[in-house]
Amino acid sequence: MTKKHLPLDELSGAIGRILGLLLTEEKVDHAVQSLSQAIKDSVPGAIGAGVSIFDPQGRATSTGSTDGIVEESDQLQYELGQGPCLTAWASEEPVLVEDAHTESRWPEWTAAVVALPVRSVVSAPLIASGHSIGAIKVYASRPSVFDSGTVSLMELFASPAATLLSHIQSSETPQRISEGLQTALYGRDLVNRACGVLMERHKITHEEALQRLLLQSRNTGTALQQVSEELIAGIPADRQ
Amino acid sequence: MGFDSNEPEQRRRLLAALESAGISTGTLWLRYFSIGGSVGEYEVEAYLQGMLSLPELERDLLAMAANELSSRGAGPRAPYADELPVDETPAQENPGLPDDGPASP
């Protein structure tokens, strides 16, 4: 994950994106949303559930939640830099909060959520290929609603969810590349095909062919891709 | 391996064109790639910083990419290699000197 700037990574990311293999951000948001709902529906006593994906600096890059209370409680965690989900993510261990009112591990967060109906919390890390990429969490409005059984259930959810979510590129690179890449690949293909025509026609090398196209473009004030397009279309633009 | 005599000049003026038009290296590289350029983005970055020499064709493609990207702007153009005077003396980092020395009799 540290070599995110390898050109090969960028290219495979971009190609994956073009082929529709990588999840788009829209799909990710939809996925975390559905997952949140599934967790809430499956955990007895839950009033809300959520999914957070963090970047290596602990900033949430994608979040999903079933309701505003979860969202608010999560937002407080990100702002304060502390809370059960951040701990689950960072420690790569599930976290069980029996009662937020007596909890002492995250004093600022517990003080901040005192007005919210958030008393019981379970959060489990999302671990994919040995890396913690985020956390899922479930809330209840009364204390001691959750126990070790809830923790096990959440861990069961977390494992496949992490694997699926890890296929979402959190890096913006594939997105940036793919925006222009399709156009760029098309243009490059045009130029290379025009080079092929010239190579065949004049028995010259690829470099010489590209050189000719470049000169043609400069002399006629026509964009290189346009020159290539016309050449391929059979317009006799290369008559010198 | 050294630089072609006019390479530093071509690079310097390419940089000036990029700066004036506000074109990032990533944008430049993508356009350069789309017109058939064959070196990677990091090599282009290194070239722009004067740490890597590129063949004339690649330099001209970079110039063309920059010119295509800034075609609507009024800033300086990026020159092609054959537009630069052939300079036998080692390149000076002193571009402002006019070539006004009278020829010796």
In terms of CA atoms, which chain B residue is nearest residue A224? B35
pLDDT in tens, A19-38: 444 455 566 777 788 888 88
A95 assigned to some structural domain: yes
Last residue of a domain, one of A148, A165, A182: A165
Q: What does DSSP assign to residue A168?
A: S
A148 lies in the same domain as A33: yes
What CATH number should be reported for the domain holding residue A132?
3.30.450.40
Nearest by CB: A195 against B30, B36, B41: B36
Domain that holds residue A107: 23-165
Q: Which residues contact A40 (CB under 8 A, 6 or more apart)?
A: A46, A47, A48, A49, A66, A138
Last residue of a domain, one of A139, A165, A191: A165
A94 assigned to some structural domain: yes
Name which of B76, B52, B66, B64 is nearest B4 in CA terms. B52
pLDDT in single tens digits along all 240 residues of chain A = 433 444 444 555 544 444 444 455 566 777 788 888 888 888 888 999 998 888 777 777 777 888 888 889 888 888 888 899 999 998 999 999 999 999 999 999 999 999 899 999 999 999 987 888 899 999 999 999 999 999 998 998 888 888 777 766 444 445 545 566 778 888 999 999 999 999 999 999 999 999 999 999 999 999 999 999 999 988 654 444
A13 assigned to some structural domain: no
Domain ranges for chain B:
7-69
Calculated CA dihedral for residues A78, A80, A82, A86, nearest 10 degrees: 10
A7 assigned to some structural domain: no
A74 lies in the same domain as A154: yes
Contact residues of B toward A, CB < 8 A: 26, 30-31, 33-36, 40-42, 57, 60-61, 64, 68, 80
A160 lies in the same domain as A189: no
Handedness of CA B14, B16, B17, B19 (dihedral sign): positive
How many angstroms separate the CA of residue A38 from the nearest CA in chain B?
41
| Total number of domains constituting chain A | 2
A73 lies in the same domain as A157: yes
A82 lies in the same domain as A126: yes
A57 lies in the same domain as A148: yes
What CATH number should be reported for the domain holding residue A224?
1.10.10.10
Please give the pLDDT value at position B96: 45
Dmax (CA) of chain A: 87
* 3-class secondary structure, B91: coil
Instruction: Note whether B68 contacts A176, CB cutoff 8 Å.
Output: no
A56 assigned to some structural domain: yes
Residues of A in contact with B35 (CB under 8 A): 187-188, 191, 224-225
pLDDT in tens, B54-72: 999 999 999 999 999 987 6
Name which of A29, A142, A31, A125 is nearest A85 in CA terms. A125
| Cα–Cα distance, B43 to A63 (Å, whole number) | 37
A198 lies in the same domain as A224: yes
Check: CB of residue A60 under 8 Å from CB of residue A150: no
A36 assigned to some structural domain: yes
A50 lies in the same domain as A124: yes
A9 assigned to some structural domain: no
A177 lies in the same domain as A158: no
A10 assigned to some structural domain: no
Last residue of a domain, one of A165, A183, A210: A165
